[in-house]
Structure 1
Amino acid sequence: MGHAPSKPKRWRPSRALRSILMVFVGFVGFVIVSGVVLYKPIMYGDMIENFGIVMMLTVPVIVAVAFRVGLDSWLDAE
Structure 2
Amino acid sequence: MPENKEKSEPNTSPNAEQPGAAPRKPKRWQPSIALRSILMVLVGFIAFVIVSGIVLYKPIMYGDMIENFGIVMMLTVPVIAAVAFRVGLDSWLDSE
Give CA-to-partner distance per residue, 1:23-67, whole Å, 9 cap, x none: 000000000000001123xxxxx5532111100010000000000
Match of 1:77 in 2: 95
1:5 maps onto 2:23 in alignment: yes
Q: Secondary structure at the match of 2:27?
A: coil
What is the count of residue pairs matched by the alignment?
74
Higher relative contact order (CA 8 A, sep 6+): 1
Cα distance in 1 for partners of 2:22, 2:92 equals 24
Moved more, 64-73 or 47-56: 47-56
Q: Which has the larger radius of gyration?
A: 2
Letter in 1 for 2:93: L
1:2-31 CA distance string (max 9 Å, x none):
231111111100000000000000000000
Equivalent in the alignment of 1:43: none
Q: Which has the larger share of helix?
A: 1
> Alpha carbon RMSD of aligned pairs, Å?
1.5
1:21 to 39, 50, 53: 39
TM-score, length basis structure 2: 0.71
Match of 1:49 among 63, 67, 79: 67
Unaligned runs of 5+ in 1: 41-45
Is residue 2:49 matched to residue 1:31? yes
For normalisation by structure 1, the TM-score amounts to 0.86
Structure 2 unaligned residues grouped into runs of 5+: 1-18, 59-63
Corresponding residue for residue 13 of structure 2: none
